[in-house]
Structure 1
Amino acid sequence: MAITDARQGDLLLIPGADGRPWFWHRLVAELDRRGCRAVAADLPKSADSTLDDYADAAAAAAAGDGPWIVVAQSLGAFTAPLLCTRLPVERLALVNPMIPSPGETAGDWWEHTGQGPASAEAAARDGRPAGFELVRDFFHDVPPEITEQAFADAEVAELGGVFAQPWPLRSWPAVPTQVIQGADDRFFPLDFQRRVVRDRLGLDQLTVIPGGHLNALSRPAELADALLSWSPAGPAAKP
């Protein structure tokens, strides 16, 4: 059943590698216009912070309310499932996610999934230069004034501890899981993400929306619509 009011599930927003709640500000405004409450977590910035520290910080941001729809961007998919033992979570919504396997580190995820070859193949197919470039590959569809704001605050999370900690869960939580993927994501191409989602979550369906890797900044209205109109078409992700 689609969400029609905030009491069916407030939204707890987990940023990606950037770590700043600012990342979600355009989505929060869209959700507010739709009558939904959203809380953006501020993650620890120190290099020795762990996934457990991230989950504790996100749970503290939720302030004990619920039930929650936990929305996670990219690297945030390593943290979001950990909240299922800390909060009443009714759904996990993963946006352009790095989906972990038990015992896997975020540092190893890239090689394990084949992200590098997949993004290089997509770049060649699209006629783009090889190799990752932050503005070209992340901000290509973000409005210039928002891109400028993103770089105005240089305080981003250091990720040494997070990338080194093996993902601590033995299986994916038995919670309905939605995967939202940007059709124009240059970092995690759509065909790559379909494979990873199928292999790791046992899900054949993705919610595909316009935009690149940073949909919350480039396409917040479409992202809000995708979050609020979703209903599970089948069972939750396989444990």
Structure 2
Amino acid sequence: MADSSTATFVLIHGGGSTSWDWHLVAPVLKGLGHEVVAVDLPIEDPANGVGEYADAVVEACAGRPNLVVVAHSWGGLVAPIVASRIDAELLVFVTAMVPLPGEAPNDWWAASGFSDLEASESEEDQFYNGVPAALAEECTARGRAQTGERDGEPSPLKAWPDVPTRFLLCRDDRFFPPVFVRAMVNDRLGFVPDEIDGGHMIALARPRELAERLHRYWTELPR
């Protein structure tokens, strides 16, 4: 029987990125007694869509106990598909996109209200505020081309998974601003998001605080 004090955190990165985004969070989670699976989504293959991205995550965590699915940013479109295909104990969105069942990724931007926002800062400032310069540069260098050729197709998510769900809003996020996120989460998930200091790339800016919050979410689950 699996030890209920130990979770397997399944970490899903954002768009155009890699599992490296979680490289500072993973050792903290391990130090708290957990297992970690961080997956590189197969985003560079134009034959793949969100369903295939989810398949890659499901395959990577097969046979692991006490699964907690954690998604950052664009990875939020993948996470509920994963949670609907595995025996997940918890689903956590970290300043992430929350899809509706059947919603095409390309449709999220307008349907969520994000397209109505006006950006007043550079993309670098929107994403990397609070991140040490060397980490920001390495993250950018490690970025991958995400083809998105199938992002116009409806999501294979048929219904929201019956899994306890948390949303962590980043108070200093300049890409998904708190005012937008609170409204989006209330509209799509029906609850008020939790909050933490930090910008959009919180896993690089405040990895310990993020890991400790994820650990707390696990310990707060009813047993």
Calculate the TM-score normalised by the size of structure 2: 0.90
Runs of 4+ in 1 over 6 A off after TM superposition: none
In 2, Cα distance between equivalents of 1:140 and 1:84: 30
2:46 matches 1:50: no
SS in 2 for 1:217: helix
Q: Are the structure 2 counterparts of residues 4 and 148 from structure 1 closer, same or farther at C-alpha, using a change threshold of 3 Å? A: farther
1:134, distance to aligned residue in structure 2 (A)? 2.1
In the alignment, is the contact (CA less than 8 A) between 2:13 and 2:21 conserved in 1? Answer: yes
For the 8 Å contact 1:77–1:99, the answer to whether it is kept is yes
* Aligned counterpart, 2:209: 222
Deviations 1:145-185 (A, max 9, x none): 11121123343432222x22212223211110010111011
Match of 2:146 in 1: 157
1:192 alignment partner in structure 2: 180
CA distance in 2, matches of 1:183, 1:62: 31
The aligned residue for residue 142 of structure 1 is 131
Please state whether the residue corresponding to 2:124 is helix, strand or coil: helix
2:16 counterpart residue number:
18
The share of aligned pairs that are identical, in percent, is: 36
TM-aligned CA deviation for residue 186 of structure 1: 0.8
In the TM superposition, residue 40 of structure 1 has moved relative to its aligned partner by 0.1
Higher mean C-alpha displacement, 49-58 vs 80-89? 80-89
SS at match of 1:59: helix
Residues in 1 aligned to 2:195 and 2:189: alpha-carbon distance in whole angstroms: 17
Distance 1:103 1:28 in 2: 32
Secondary structure in 2 matching 1:164 = coil
**SS of the residue aligned with 2:69?**
strand
Query: CA, structure 1 residues 62+30, in 2 after alignment: closer, same or farther (shift >3 Å)?
Result: same
**Structure 1 CA distance for aligned equivalents of residues 29 and 221 of structure 2:** 20
Length, aligned pairs only? 217
Structure 2 CA distance for partners of 1:91 and 1:147, relative to 1, 3 Å: same
Whether the 8 Å CA contact 2:4–2:66 is kept in 1: the answer is no
Amino acid at match of 1:91: L
8 Å CA contact 2:125–2:174 kept in 1: the answer is: no
Counterpart secondary structure, 1:13: strand
CA distance in 2, matches of 1:101, 1:82: 11
Equivalent residues of 1:142, 1:214 under 8 A apart: yes
Mark the CA change 1:4 to 1:34 in structure 2 (over 3 Å): closer, same or farther: farther
- Residue 5 of structure 1: aligned partner: 5
Q: Distance in 1 between matches of 2:29 and 2:55?
A: 24
Equivalent residue number for residue 170 of structure 1: 158
Letter of the 1:172 counterpart: W
2:28 corresponds to 1:30: yes
Alpha-carbon distance, 1:100 to partner: 0.7
Structure 1 CA distance for aligned equivalents of residues 71 and 214 of structure 2: 12
In the alignment, is the contact (CA less than 8 A) between 1:64 and 1:87 conserved in 2?
no
Q: Secondary structure at the match of 2:203?
A: helix
Q: Which residue of 2 aligns with 1:237?
A: none
The one-letter code matched in structure 1 to 2:141 is A
Aligned-residue offset at 1:4 = 8.2
> Is the partner of 1:147 in helix, strand or coil?
helix
8 A Cα contact 1:66 1:87, kept in partner: no
Equivalents in 1 of 2:82, 2:96: separation in Å? 16
Tell me the secondary structure at the aligned position of residue 71 of structure 1.
Answer: strand
Q: Deviations over 1:8-60 (max 9, x none)?
A: x2100111102411111111122122221111011102123111110110011
C-alpha spacing 1:85/1:173, structure 2 compared with 1 (3 Å) = closer
- Equivalent position SS for 2:11: strand
Q: Deviations over 1:183-211 (max 9, x none)?
A: 0111111121111111111112x221111
1:101-140 to structure 2, matched below 5 A, reads 101-118=100-117, 120=118, 130=120, 133-140=122-129
